[in-house]
Structure 1
Amino acid sequence: MRPGILGGVLSGVLDLLLPQSCAGCGGAGAGLCEGCLGAMAATPAARTPRPRPAGLPECWAAASYEGGVRRAVVAYKERGATALAGALGTLLAYAVLTAVTRTGLAGGALTLVPVPSARRSLRSRGHDPVGRLATLAARDLRALGLPAGVWPALGQSRRVADQAGLSRAQRAANLDGALRLSPAARTRPAGPVLVVDDIVTTGATLAEAARALRAAGTDVALAVTVAATRRRS
């Protein structure tokens, strides 16, 4: 799927679902303006945080967490703009497709494992943002002929503090041992497993998710997100 094709898919979805204003910049027009859509449809790439947390798989993201991408993710995740889920799910699918193609994992069934939200976040938001994106991304991948499914394998083993404002070291300590295999995750997938999230900053969350899966005997091939922050050391 080339960026131009992705742009067409996103534009069609957003024209149907969004109010008559740009989700990225607030300008006039349904969906996203040309500039914001261009940013969202940026070529996916390997964007592994540096320094790389221990245990973090190679990390891919659809775009940098800035501009229209950042505004769209914040609107979806924090402000209840759930109509953006389809567009962001397509971005995630595009990143997964690019990652597995370039790393040689394409060709077999893929399993997407969403990073779980804290219970209090689920209550306050009224939906599971990452779980929904994973489901929509898997649907888009299947439509492209790539077998893909979602395995909601992870749950929280304890409460964690809000990550906002924490340093790299504080994030790692906050999340250490915070995830576990969910009791409901009975059937382990046979193909490559990819951990997915909306944003990667330091990589601490994705590293903890990968650790919890490995501890339960499941290897993790890649981590994939919608966006990656440009974080200064």
Structure 2
Amino acid sequence: MFQTDWMESRQPRRPKILTVLHQEHSSPGRVGHLLVEAGFALDIRRPPLGDPLPQTLEDHAGAVIFGGPMSANDPEDFVRDETNWLAVPLAEDKPFLGICLGAQMLANHLGGKVAPHPDGFVEIGWYPLAPTEVGKALMDWPSMVYHFHREGFELPETATLLATGETYPNQAFRYGNNAWGVQFHAELTRAMMQRWVVRGSERFALCGAQHGRDHLEGRMIHDAVLKAWLHQFLGKIFGAPVPA
């Protein structure tokens, strides 16, 4: 036992990524898998369940805020506190990624409005994505991405649009060098998608939503490209970890 403990104590600590989730059984999914494979450790916090967010990211290599069923406009304290907390990674210029709700929080923080589509359309299923010229120069993008949302965000004046869509034009953006937001979900494993399809089936009747079978069939067609993109995208945001 002493030898094992001694050997473990000599191993370098893995740099941490603050990982913010919004439900008790939510998972960082493929994003978490890829970050751990790249050499990071995940510091998982769930603010709706009372977990605090750190006052500084000096002990973290970056942060990810994931999605959730709530709105970025909800009056709950944790929504307001998370949105205000984004001042921390922005002030410290630490890599930050917001996914769906996390992107909407970032847009709100930067002065962009979050709201439903004026004609009531949602994006629930697979929808086309088109990179902007800036996005094309950055990397190759998938032509179809997976969505599960009823609101979108305005592009903040100080942000750069990277990818656009037909129904919700603002799909991916960057603010400065280190803050990124995407409206779509590349993090879902197959098991996660199956749970979403079962638990969110009442939303398939919403305007513009796709039936559950289309979600799973679309995954067989489009997911390999989406996964490859995510691997590259996370590398651009977080780079290769440097052990502390």
Do they fold alike, i.e. is TM over 0.5? no
Which TM-score applies when normalising by structure 2?
Answer: 0.29
Larger radius of gyration: 2
More strand by share: 2
**Which of the pair has the greater relative contact order for Cα pairs under 8 Å at 6+ separation?**
1
Which TM-score applies when normalising by structure 1?
Answer: 0.30
